[in-house]
Every structure is written in C-alpha cells, then in structure tokens.
Amino acid sequence: MAISKNGVEVIGVDTKKIDAAAVDGLTGVVDSLAYIVAIPEVHNHSVECWFGNDGDNTMSAANNMATWTLTAAGSGNVYGTAVTMGAPNDILATFPSAVYFDAHRIAIIESNTNDNTYMIQLLGGLGTIGDADILCEVPYRTENLSGEAKPILLQMPRIATASTLWGKVKSEAASKTLQIIIGIHTYEG
C-alpha cells in the first residue's frame, strides 16, 4: 500500500521503514537512525571498568588503583609532558571483543597541593603524540583532597582499541601533580 500526498507517492511499498539495515549494538550502518539511537543506549548501559597504571604506563584492569601521575610544566598555565596511559590493544586483555573505547570518567586519587586549578587533557590516536587528537579537556579544582575520590565525568569520542591514550595537565602553579585512574566504556562494533 502506497501513501500519497496530493497525488504524489510519498512512501511506497518497497520503502524501508525507519532503518531496515541489520543493527546489532553499534554494528549497523554508520549514520543510520538506528545506529545513532543505539550509541547513547549502549554508552549509558555498558559496563564501566576502572583502569590503572600497570607500572609501565599501560592500562590494567587488574591493577586499577595504581595511578598515573600527570605533572604540569615548570611554569604556570603550561601543559606538562604527555604521559602514556594506554598502549594499543591494552583494553583487549580485559575486553577481548572490544573494537572501540572511551574514557567515561577519571578519579583524582591524590594531588601535591590542596588549593590549585588544573586543566586535564586526554589525547589519543593511532600514531605518535605529535599526531594525537585532543579527545577532551576538563577543569579540576583541588580543595582539601582528604575525602573520597569523586569521579569526574568526561565527554569524548570513541576511539579504536588500537589507539594510544595520553594524558597531560596544566595548572595555575608550576610543577603541580595529579594522580589519576580512568573509567573506560568499551564497544564491540
């Protein structure tokens, strides 16, 4: 049955409904309506796994309380050297079928000052730090870090598990540090 408006066929019998392409999680047709609708659904209802530094600046879910130390540069308001937080395919040890991931939250475990403003930056890419894209920036103000570490929400795009993830920080004062862990969401398609 065709639907017409003013004698012109608008929707024919063979027209796909909203999206007839196969959709299984995020493995549907990129930019189809079903794909776009699935993204927040999968993101909001996927497992978040906390990762820490495995001792050689790689990610480890088994060692998720070992922190990465991000240090601001020797002069105020300048980013320090980027620290490798995840080497290509680190996440696959915990999630073997993951194709993409995003850092959903970070937790500040320790700081070397109680009264400072920071800008935390995560970068990622398939090449070197020189080729990396800025994935997100988030401000953070330390004030009496004697309580629990409260996770900070991040907004960043998904990146391939074959990517490297880096972190760096700048602060109002020179050479200040943050020790962090990250919460990761993974995606299979």
Band of pLDDT at residue 163, cut at 50, 70 and 90: very high
User: Alpha helices of the chain — where are they, by DSSP H?
Assistant: 33-44
Domain ranges in the chain are: 1-45, 47-187
Higher pLDDT, 43 or 87: 87
In this predicted structure, the answer to whether residue 142 has a pLDDT above a threshold of 60 is: yes
Q: What is the pLDDT of residue 189?
A: 66
pLDDT at 94 over 80: yes
Residue 115, pLDDT score: 79
CB 50 within 8 A of CB 182: yes
Residue bearing tokens 């639907």: 3
Could you report how far apart the first and last alpha carbons of the chain are, in Å? 36
CATH architecture of 47-187: Sandwich (2.60)
Half-sphere exposure of 109 (CA within 13 A, CB side): 16
pLDDT band at 112 (very low <50, low <70, confident <90, very high): confident
- What is the token pair recorded at 46? 């996927």
- pTM here is 0.77
**31 conformational bin, left if phi > 0, alpha if psi -120 to 50, beta if neither:** left
